[in-house]
Structure 1
Amino acid sequence: MTPATLIDHLPTARPRHYPSDTSDAEWAILAPHVPAGTGRGRPIVYPRRDIVDAIRYLDRTSCQWDALPADFPHHKLVYHYFKTWTADGTLTRIHNHLREQVRQQVEARDAQPTAALVDSQSLRGAETVGRCSRGYDAGKKVNGRKRHIAVDTCGLLLAVLVTGAGVQDRDAAKPLLWALHACFPGVRLVWADSGYAGQLVGWASNQLTLTLKIVAKLAGQSTFVVLHRRWAVERTFSWINRCRRTVRDYERLPEHHAAMVQWAMIIVMTRRLARHQHT
């Protein structure tokens, strides 16, 4: 797919008055990566910027799809693009392009990482979360789902996996690390907490040639302490949780919750890039 340009996109006349709306600077960053249309079938009626802003609004406020404000396109059309861009890889491509830009332009690093951090977070599931994809985390006393993420040392998202809350971190880490290894072959070192200790360390070394380094709590630690490297992934969870849609899991499909996590990070990254280019 050839990247779209600002000229390819229909202009929008909708006033930008929601905190989640893209600024002109943000849209200039996003537009080259958002499909402008296939050129087949019915002509494009709604500007893609309005679609993107509607998805961002829902992710930020956690309203229901059919409760989107009337100045956005119809909620069924917005959901259609949310679902389509998630399924065909468009969302992942947008997210990955932005992450590379942030690493190069803001962090002054190589586009591809060489080290990563992994962690998980359990979330209460709404009634829309089906029994087959939810579970119970006895340690956190949470009935719902668990998201497992891998981030680079800047805290930027590399991979996300959504499972039932009852899945142990060590079990979910295997497919997560497989995906990390396949998408980022340059990553050779991964930090994790003590929940990933044990046989997983040897498995990662033998199967993926990854060094899994466990960052344990300090001796006698009873209160919150900023631990080496682990603080970066904890900060990423706080970035993600700025969007209310990600604080609780409302999605029928696990991949749609993963998409909401990616959209939350897209908001973070576009704003960082816009600020950086403005200075």
Structure 2
Amino acid sequence: MTPCPSCPTPDQLGGHRCAVYPSSSVTDAQWTLLEPLLPPFGNTEGRGGRPEKHCRRVVLDAIFYVVRGGIAWRQLPSEFPPATTVWAIFARWVRAGVWQRIHDALRDRTRVRDGRTPLPSAAIIDSQSVQGADTVPRSSRGFDAGKKTNGRKRHIAVDTNGLLLTVAVTMAGIQDRDGAVRLLAALRARFSTVELVWADGGYAGRLIGWTKDVLALVVEIVKRTDDAKGFKVLPRRWVVERTFAWICKHRRCVRDYETRPDHHEAMVYIAMIATMSRRLARTA
């Protein structure tokens, strides 16, 4: 753990100094990408306000540390700003939609770097049930009988490279095709260019006709063949499974600790922000 050379002096940080944790700390190249995407100082509306006491890079490091390590906010190491301050900034940026905007900007940049247009034309959807901790209230949790999981379910849509397009968090007891109604509606609202969606057999049925008539989306079901035995990589579907693996590298996303579903959605966006910013920084 070594001091960050580009961090402001301890006096500017209110007595705190940035420490480098290899798996979560923002590198100089990452900070060059992320800093212009952060909201204006003071508040997100740009109307001024009390000057911020702590360096934003240190605050971002602290949030990434929580998401990557899966620890509680109050267990942040002492070199970071107070846990209540870090959580308050995280929650304020959730309400303002900051995490989604940062994620979308990085995703578009990643697609352009890969030789694609910023707007996708196809998507893959799937869901994942996550065990809920005791901090998840009964009003927003449920039981997934198929996976024997008591908690929440995250429904995601990704592009053909596995980059996240949108996410919706529901109770775990919600059926995949019912949760997909909200997911696909958000997908259509944000991406008018998407025409085709691949999904597994759990989405077959009335969802296909509804999406075609209401959202003008074609849902194509990718199924296993009847003679397939054991594990088999299925076309298109493996892409979204890889995205779930990227998300679950961040331990705060392996188990749901969030009181609010939108905070869990933000955790998923932050996990992908960390993944994409590191990828872009390596090729900058």
Task: Give the TM-score normalised by structure 1.
Answer: 0.93
1:58 maps to which residue? 66
Show structure 1 runs of 4+ deviating over 6 A.
Answer: none
Match of 1:17 in 2: 21
Alignment of structure 1 residues 106-125 onto 2, 5 Å: 107-125=114-132
Matched AA of 1:19: S
Deviations 1:221-247 (A, max 9, x none): 232111010010000000000000000
SS where residue 122 of structure 1 aligns?
strand
How far did 1:42 drift?
Answer: 1.9
Deviation at 1:111, TM superposition (A): 0.6
**How do residues 261-272 of structure 1 correspond to structure 2 at under 5 angstroms?**
261-272=268-279
Whether the 8 Å CA contact 1:95–1:266 is kept in 2: the answer is: yes
Q: Which residue of 1 aligns with 2:235?
A: 228
Cα deviations by residue, 1:136-170 (Å, 9 ceiling, x for unpaired): 11111111111000001110111111111100001
1:69 counterpart = 2:74: no
Q: Match of 1:123, as an amino acid?
A: V
1:18/1:57 contact within 8 Å kept: no
1:16-61, Cα deviation, whole Å (9 max, x unpaired):
2342000000110111101251372322221111111111000000
Identify the residue that residue 206 of structure 1 maps to in structure 2.
Answer: 213
Match of 2:93 in 1: 85
Aligned position for 1:3: none
In 2, the alpha carbon distance for the partners of 1:243 and 1:124 equals 15
Q: State the percentage of identical aligned residues.
A: 51
Kept after mapping to 2: 8 A contact 1:114/1:187? yes
Q: Which of 162, 165, 178 does residue 185 from structure 2 map onto?
A: 178
* 2:9 counterpart residue number: none
Q: Tell me which of 170, 173, 179 is aligned to 1:163.
A: 170
The change in CA–CA distance for 1:17 and 1:166 in structure 2 (over 3 A counts) is closer
Note if contact 2:122-2:160 (Cα within 8 Å) is conserved in structure 1.
yes
Gaps of 5+ in 1: 1-5
Distance (Å, rounded) in 1 between the aligned partners of 2:90 and 2:239: 29
Matched with 2:103 is 95
Q: Bigger shift: 29-38 or 254-263?
A: 29-38
SS in structure 1 of the partner of residue 281 of structure 2: helix
Tell me what 1:250 maps to: 257
Give, in whole Å, the separation in 2 of the partners of 1:22 and 1:254: 26
What SS is found at the alignment partner of 2:58? helix
Aligned partner of 2:37: which letter? H
Count of matched residue pairs: 268
| Aligned 8 A contact 1:36 1:48 in 2 | no
Deviation, 1:83, is 0.4
Structure 2: tracts of 5 or more residues without a match:
1-5, 7-11
> How far apart, in 1, do the equivalents of 2:145 and 2:21 lie?
43
Maintained 8 Å contact 2:197/2:219: yes
Paired residue secondary structure (2:283): helix
Structure 1 residue 13: Cα displacement: 4.9
* Whole-angstrom distance in 2 between the partners of 1:267 and 1:15: 17
CA distance in 2 between partners of 1:120 and 1:212 (Å): 15
- For 2:21 and 2:230, locate their aligned partners in 1 and report how far apart those are by CA, in whole Å: 41
TM value normalised by structure 2: 0.91
